[in-house]
Amino acid sequence: MESTLDIFVKAIFSENMIFAYFLGMCSYLAVSKTVKTAVGLGAAVIFVLVVTVPVNYLLENYLLKAGALEWMGAEYANIDLSFLSFIMFIAVVASIVQLVEMLVEKFAPALYGALGIFLPLIAVNCSILGGALFMQDRQYSTLFDATAFSLGSGIGWFIAIVAIAAIREKIRYSNVPPALRGLGITFIITGLMGMAFMSFMGIKYGKDKKEDKAATGMIDKAAPAVKTAKAITIKNEIND
Partner 1 sequence: MKFLEKQLHKMEPNFVKGGKWEKWNPLFETIATFAFTPKLVTEKGAHIRDGVDLKRTMIMVVLALVPCLIFGIYNTGHWGMVAEAGTRDLAYWSDMGPKFLLGLTYVLPIIVVSYGVGLAVEFLFGMLRGHSLHEGYLVSGMLIPLCMPADVPLWMVAVATVFAVVIGKEIFGGTGMNILNIALTARAFLFFAYPTSMSGDKVWMAGTEKSVDGFSGSTVLGDLATFMGDKAVVAGQEVVGTTQAGLEAITNNYSLIDSFVGMIPGSIGETSTLACLIGAAILLITGVGSLRIMASFFAGGLMMGLILNLAGGNAYLELPAIYHLVIGGFAFGAIFMATDPVTASQTQGGKIWYGLFGGMIAILIRVLNPAYPEGVFLAILFMNVMAPIIDHYVVQMNIKRRLSRLKTA
Q: Which residues bind partner 1 (CB under 8 A)?
A: 35, 162-163, 165-167, 169-171, 174-177, 180, 185, 188-189, 192-193, 195-205
Contact criterion met (CB below 8 Å) for 81 and 155? no
Task: Give the C-alpha separation, 42 to 132, whole Å.
Answer: 17
* Cα 51 to the center of its chain, rounded Å: 13
Helices 126-138 and 35-59, interaxial angle, to 10°?
A: 40
Instruction: Give least dist CB 152 to partner 1, A.
Output: 17
Cβ at position 18, least distance to partner 1 in Å: 12
Q: How far is the CB of 15 from partner 1 (least distance, A)?
A: 14
Least Å from the CB of residue 132 to partner 1: 28
Q: Using N-to-C axis directions, what is the helix angle for 143-170 and 35-59, rounded to 10°?
A: 160
Q: Using alpha carbons, list the distances in angstroms from residue 156 to 5, 40, 131, 164, 227.
A: 14, 14, 12, 12, 41
Least distance between partner 1 and beta carbon 169 (Å): 7
Residue number with CB closer to partner 1 (143 or 203): 203
- Whichever of 121 and 198 has its CB closer to partner 1, that residue is 198
Q: Decide whether 90 or 198 has the Cβ nearer to partner 1.
A: 198
Backbone angles phi, psi at 14, to 5 degrees: -75, -25
Distance CA 213, CA 236 (A): 35
Which lies closer to partner 1 via its Cβ, residue 174 or residue 239?
174
- d(CA 37, CA 116) in angstroms, rounded, equals 10
Give the residue with the Cβ less far from partner 1, 109 or 191.
191
Q: What is the CA radius of gyration of the chain?
A: 22
Q: Are 187 and 168 in contact (CB under 8 A)?
A: no
Q: How far is CA 209 from the centre of its chain?
A: 22
Looking at beta carbons only, is 36 or 235 nearer to partner 1? 36
CB of 202 vs partner 1, minimal distance in Å: 4
